Amino acid sequence: MVVVNIAQQGPLGQTARALVAGLLAVTLVSATEAEARPKKRKPDLVVSTGRLSVPGQSEDAFVVGHGGTTTFAWKHTTRNRGKAKAGRSVTGVQFVLDAKHVVSPTNARARVPALGPGRSHATHGSFDVSWDDTWDYGTYPTRICADITRKVPESKEGNGCRTTHHVWVVPFGLTGTIKGEAVQPLVFPGVTLSWEFPAGVTFELQPHISQPLATEGILQYPFLDPQPDVLDLRYTISGTNTLNGCTWQGSGGYEPAAEFHAIELSFSRPRGSAHAQILVDRGLPQFSFSATVTCPGGIVSQVEVTPAEWGRAAFWLDLGAFTRFPDPGLTRLKGDYTDTNATYHWDLQPTDLP
């Protein structure tokens, strides 16, 4: 390597200084030409307007029953906001599963012709979605996306979708068993008041009843009474009072009412974790039944037993707090809960549309 001191006097220093000046000039010219050279223009496809709707449902969110089929109507305008012409493309609807996965039904797509800068194309149509076993219960945000097949190179990627509404995929009902028991250890130690549905219990979503919280993914499943002439909920009292030796025995039926007794389910979380539930009881069994009390010495009497006087026993459907289905598929709601001298047992399974 030869080192030249450009400050050196004489012919050699003059030559070095001239060489450096030339190199700087070439560099400056090259940089100026690069800045002056225009960048390659590209298109930029966006959905400027878009709407997804279901006839007869809220414009904020859609509730659909698992196992059924929903017809969606949709319309959109795809616009080229870029500086160059965009080739032919496809705009479509996406159902968001999670941060990395979406479903884009092939029947929810529309062809868009080539668009020059600033030009738009509007269209509309409809499509069906069958909510079969490939769909979990839960929340699915939806959006309409331009260039859904990613065929058009654009100046700005990631801005081509327009968010529309949430879809709540929910069970049609819940069916199974609910039972429990309560005690009063200070007054009637050894005596138990229990309740159950001998033929099982069913709760069913009422799509035609106003659901004020449906847009938040919270739905009510009122008690379904398949046999109005049968008292579905049966209370039984039995046992011997250890304080006085009196034996209790009796039973009676009660009929829950749909307007007071319901299960409230929340589907406000994403798919796979949308199974936080609230079970609520909206009314007390205001009834009594007769029981026979046999005491030592052969003393027999008839008494009226009122479940509402047994504290928490009046709330035959009560879990006290949030309960979760044990897996993302929401295949079963089963468990036990104890609160204030009362214990509850439930085993419910979601059911699809018939």
Q: What is the mean pLDDT of the chain?
A: 80
In the structure, what pLDDT confidence band is assigned to residue 73 with cuts at 50, 70 and 90?
very high
Q: Which two tokens stand for residue 302?
A: 């008839």
Q: Dihedral, CA atoms, 283, 168, 133, 52, nearest 10 degrees?
A: 150
pLDDT exceeds 90 at position 341 = no
Specify whether the CB–CB gap between 254 and 285 falls below 8 A: yes
Question: What's the CATH code of the domain at 154?
Answer: 2.60.40
> Which of 105, 135, 170 is a domain's end point?
170
Mean pLDDT for the stretch of residues 283-289? 74
pLDDT exceeds 60 at position 179 = yes
Which one, of 246, 266, 258, lies nearest residue 282 by Cα? 258
Is 115 a member of any domain? yes
Considering the domain architecture, whether residues 232 and 319 belong to the same structural domain is answered as yes
Q: With residue 102 as reference, give the H or E element that holds it.
A: strand 102-103
Considering the domain architecture, whether residues 214 and 92 belong to the same structural domain is answered as no
Mean pLDDT for the stretch of residues 254-273? 67
Considering the domain architecture, whether residues 220 and 306 belong to the same structural domain is answered as yes
Considering the domain architecture, whether residues 268 and 301 belong to the same structural domain is answered as yes
Q: With 0-12 CB in 10 A as exposed, 13-18 as middle and 19+ as buried, what is 159?
A: middle
Considering the domain architecture, whether residues 322 and 197 belong to the same structural domain is answered as yes
Report the domain count for the chain: 2
Buried-exposed string 169-204: b where 16+ CB fall within 10 A, e elsewhere: bbbbbbbbebbbbbbbeeebebbbbbbbbeeebbbb
Is 6 a member of any domain? no
Considering the domain architecture, whether residues 332 and 347 belong to the same structural domain is answered as yes
Cβ-proximal residues to 8 (8 Å cutoff; 6+ apart), any chain: 16
Give CA–CA dist 175/289, Å, rounded.
27
> Which of 109, 143, 170 is a domain's end point?
170
pLDDT in the model for residue 208: 45
Considering the domain architecture, whether residues 136 and 206 belong to the same structural domain is answered as no
Domain assignment of residue 274, given as a range: 173-351
pLDDT exceeds 60 at position 269 = no
Q: Which two tokens stand for residue 232?
A: 């579905």
Considering the domain architecture, whether residues 133 and 198 belong to the same structural domain is answered as no
Write out pLDDT tens, residues 234-254.
Answer: 999 999 999 999 999 999 988
> Which of 111, 137, 170 is a domain's end point?
170
Write out pLDDT tens, residues 16-60.
Answer: 555 445 544 444 445 455 455 567 899 999 999 999 998 777 666
